[in-house]
Structure formats: C-alpha cells, structure tokens
Amino acid sequence: DFDFKKKRKVEEIYQALNSDPIDVAALRRMAISEGGLLMDEIRCKVWPKLLSVNTDDLPPLPGKELREDNKDYQQVLLDVRRSLRRFPPGMPDDQREGLQEELIDIILHVLKRNPQLHYYQGYHDIVVTFLLVVGDRLATALVEKLSTHHLRDFMDPTMDNTKHILNYLMPIIDQVNPEVHDFMQSAEVGTIFALSWLITWFGHVLSDFRHVVRLYDFFLACHPLMPIYFAAVIVLHRQQEVLDCECDMASVHHLLSQIPQDLPYETLISKAGDLFVQFPPSKLAREAAQQQAERTAASTFKDFELASVQQRPDTVLRQRFGEQPRGEERTKSILTKPRTNRFVKLAVMGLTVALGAAALAVVKSALEWAPKFELQIFP
C-alpha cells in the first residue's frame, strides 16, 4: 500500500511539473502533504519551482576571489569547519572537504551579491542542506532567493525582526493550551530555546537528514512564518513533560532546548498546518507585534501569488470538520480563543488527517494573512 501511494504521488508530481504552465499550487500541496517530495531527485526539480528560480539561467560558479578582503570570510570559515555532523556519516574526508569549500563559496557569493544581507551563525546549516540535495550551482541560486525572502528577517543588521517572529510562539501556544502557556510564563523561560530551531529551519538540531529535508519541503511550500508554528507544535507535543518540570527558567529551558529526535514528524506537520489555518498570523499580531510589521519578510512574500483562486479559511475548516454550510456559529466557536481541554484534544490531538484542505488554505490564503494586512486591523 505504501509503495502504491508513493508511486501515485510521484506520478502526480511529474504531472504537475509537465503541465503547461507548471502547476505550482499542486507542487506546493505535494510538498506539504504526507511524505513531502519523497526523494532528492524530485526535490532538485520541485524546489526551484517553489522558489520561482529559473534553472535555465543559473549564475556561474563563484570564484575564489570572493575570499579576498571579505569581512565575513573568517566567521564563515570557522562555522563551516564546525559543520562536520551535517555531512553524511562515512563520507570520505576529501569529498567532505570539497563540499565544505563549496559551502563557503556559496555563502560568500550570496552575501556579495546582496550587501543588504548580513551573515548570522546558523545560516550555513541551511545552505549545507541545499548543497547536499541539489549541488553547488543550483544551491547558489536557491539560497540567494531564499535569503531575500523566507530568511530575510534573520539577515538584518539587528535581531529585531527575528525577535518579532519568535514573539508569535507564545500566542500560538496560548490559543491551544493556556495551561502550558501560563506555566511557561510563570517559569519566565522566554523563547530563546527555539532560536536555533527557527534560524536553521531545524537543520542544526535534528540529526537525521531525512527529517531535515522533509521539513524543508514543508517550509518551502508555506508562509515564511510556518517554522514558528512547527516550533509551537513541538512544545505542545511535549506538554506533559513541560507541566511535570520544575517551574523555573533553568529547568524548563533545559528541557525544551533538548529537542527529541523521534518526533512524529508527519503528525506535527499536519498539526502545524491546522494551527496556521485556525490561528493565522493576522489573528495573533496584536500579541506578537513588537515593531512595524512592514519590515518583515511575511509582508512582502509574493511567491504565493502563483497559487490560483483564493479560498477563505472558514470554508476550509467547515469542510474539514464535516459541518454543513449553515454551521456558522460552530465555526466561530472553533476559531475563538480556547480555554477548555475539549478544544485542546480537538485541535492538537484529533486532527490527524494528512493536510488536505488545510494545505490548500495555507497555500491559497497566505497573502491575506500577511502582516501588511494586519496593519489595517491593528493600526
């Protein structure tokens, strides 16, 4: 059954790739749904489409002159030398060393071409993932596009926008499980435990490369804030461990910063998509906003314009919960801030289907929920 489903999904992906024009919305749904893009051979074809990168016009390979008088070279070199664990175990030393040299060149090339971007420690964890999947030349193009879109907030001169994104974490947790939220607030643990998760797209903290690329499929197909929703569902998945912990900053921080390696990734991906649909950024902006939202990448992210006709999330939710069109009041209660265990069980534990309609809403409604839209609601 698994092999049949995998074969069918591969056929659907290639059908979307071969359509004229390419069905990018279908590719996004394939990347989000169970199993993601399945294999690196497919990722080499689909990731460029998700980022609107023209593979027929790739930049030339960067030259070694990039390293001369480059202000970031020494820091990049140190970080790359420390990245041994990010390469497949058993890889010959000479092959790994060659890839590390390519990794340095890709990073310096992107920074030179985009002087508004600033290197941060952890950036190399993202770049190496692309290098290992698609090779140096295509990785250079994909990373440059990603750096000016999804990752742009992390590459500002200050961490203000990164802090702004982290500020969405607690409101998401509060919507689903107020008890966990209040416990974490009492412990004064903050959100710094999730910083490395966010700025490396979990590449730095997950040891199995298969799980890393599966998450990259998901994040590349979604709104730039989706990694913070995934961080929230990890905390919610561990809610009992959190509540059983000593209510102090050191204990809770230590617990949460040690991310489990055996997470149920497909279930958590589905739940992150569900939470994005139920509590989009526009509904959390009042609590999360620390600065003008015009400066965040989510306000200028335009790739979702490739998707077709927009669909309102309340309609999708009614379909998912099997409600009739007349069930407006029940839909409103679902979207209202929860304070009951019954809702927690429904929202966090009960929604186990592969994304389906939720994926459609994530893809098709992202533009409506961008912070630029929030400014009209919260002046």
* Per-residue model confidence as pLDDT tens digits over 212-271: 999 999 999 999 999 999 999 999 999 999 999 999 999 999 999 999 999 999 999 999
Where does the pLDDT of residue 59 fall: very low under 50, low under 70, confident under 90, or very high at 90 and above? confident
Neighbouring CB atoms inside 10 A of 163's CB total: 15
Please check the confidence at residue 183 and state whether its pLDDT lies above 90.
Answer: yes
* Torsion (CA) 107, 108, 112, 117 in degrees, nearest 10: 40
> What pLDDT is attached to residue 327?
37
Where does the pLDDT of residue 157 fall: very low under 50, low under 70, confident under 90, or very high at 90 and above? very high
Q: By the 8 A CB rule, do 122 and 200 touch?
A: yes
Per-residue b or e along 299-329, where b marks 16 or more CB atoms closer than 10 Å to that residue's CB: bebebbebbeeebebbebbbbbeeeeeeeee
Structure tokens at 194: 């999730």
Please check the confidence at residue 94 and state whether its pLDDT lies above 60.
Answer: yes
> What pLDDT is attached to residue 287?
78
* pLDDT, tens digit (0-9, with 9 covering 90-100), for 299-308: 444 433 333 2
Please check the confidence at residue 364 and state whether its pLDDT lies above 50.
Answer: no
Neighbouring CB atoms inside 10 A of 336's CB total: 10
Rounded Cα distance, 201 and 226, in Å: 10
3-state secondary structure 250-264: HHHHHHHHCCCCCCC
Please check the confidence at residue 336 and state whether its pLDDT lies above 60.
Answer: no
Total-model pTM: 0.78
Please check the confidence at residue 36 and state whether its pLDDT lies above 50.
Answer: yes
Nearest to 122 by CA among 160, 162, 91, 89: 162
Cβ neighbourhood burial of 254 (10 Å; 0-12, 13-18, 19+): middle
> What pLDDT is attached to residue 366?
41
Share of the chain above pLDDT 70, in %: 76
Please check the confidence at residue 12 and state whether its pLDDT lies above 50.
Answer: yes
Please check the confidence at residue 20 and state whether its pLDDT lies above 70.
Answer: yes
Cβ neighbourhood burial of 203 (10 Å; 0-12, 13-18, 19+): buried
Rounded Cα distance, 242 and 235, in Å: 8
Q: How far is CA 10 from the centre of its chain?
A: 23
User: Tokens 């306000």 appear where?
Assistant: 299
Rounded Cα distance, 25 and 49, in Å: 10
Q: By the 8 A CB rule, do 60 and 136 touch?
A: no
Stretch 3-23: mean pLDDT, rounded? Answer: 94
Collapsed DSSP state (helix, strand, coil) of residue 203: coil
> What pLDDT is attached to residue 3?
87
> What pLDDT is attached to residue 289?
67
Please check the confidence at residue 369 and state whether its pLDDT lies above 90.
Answer: no
Rounded Cα distance, 163 and 343, in Å: 29
Higher pLDDT, 51 or 282: 51
Rounded Cα distance, 143 and 128, in Å: 10
Rounded Cα distance, 204 and 124, in Å: 9
Q: Please, what are the domains in the chain? A: 1-151 (1.10.8.1310), 159-284 (1.10.472.80)
Nearest to 226 by CA among 214, 218, 236: 218
Where does the pLDDT of residue 376 fall: very low under 50, low under 70, confident under 90, or very high at 90 and above? very low
Longest dimension (CA), the chain: 67
Please check the confidence at residue 357 and state whether its pLDDT lies above 50.
Answer: no
Rounded Cα distance, 59 and 72, in Å: 21
Q: Average pLDDT of the chain?
A: 80
Stretch 333-352: mean pLDDT, rounded? Answer: 36
Please check the confidence at residue 85 and state whether its pLDDT lies above 90.
Answer: no
